[in-house]
Amino acid sequence: MKGVGTDESAVTAVVCQRSHSQLKEVERTYQQLFGRILIADLKSELSGKYREVIRNCFRTPAEHDAHVLRTATKGLGTDEDAIIEIMCTRTNAELKEMKHAYRIQYKRDLMKDLVGDTSGDFWRLLVSMTAAVREEEDSGIDVMRAVNEAHVRPHSSS
């Protein structure tokens, strides 16, 4: 990779045609052969969105979610859409894995970062979701009744 430039088509061919476990093996082999960290070399050789896409290919789903949530809460402003997308669509097991990945990657507590950037009902929802204890099995909910009630309720405008 070092030298006049990086052959991005070769990087794409190698990275995008491998499973995550195969990419981990590529990382290990690269380090053994060259005594260097592949991700660090890619980071220095690539740029922009392409670098971010390639970097994401090397992350586990939990690491990727942790990265998105850190980006959503870091600095000024909060990307609430990204937070909602992840926190409301992951299973309890996925949330627990992601919280662990967040702590490992950033040496920070996810719940503290989320609640530090939010307030009100959204804050309470995130505290609840971060606990990763919601009921996931069919709990006897009458889906048809819920659908009917959702359609019957008038929208109040004040």
pLDDT digits (tens, 9 = 90+) for 12-43: 998 989 998 999 999 999 999 999 999 999 99
pLDDT at 156: 55
d(CA 57, CA 25): 13
The per-residue pLDDT of the chain, averaged, comes to 86
6-15, 84-93, 149-158: which has the minimum mean pLDDT? 149-158
Q: Buried b / exposed e across 48-74, counting CB within 10 Å, b at 16+?
A: eeeeeebbebbbeebbbbbbbbeebbe
Phi, psi of 91 (to 5 degrees): -75, 170
Q: Where are the beta strands (DSSP E) in the chain?
A: none
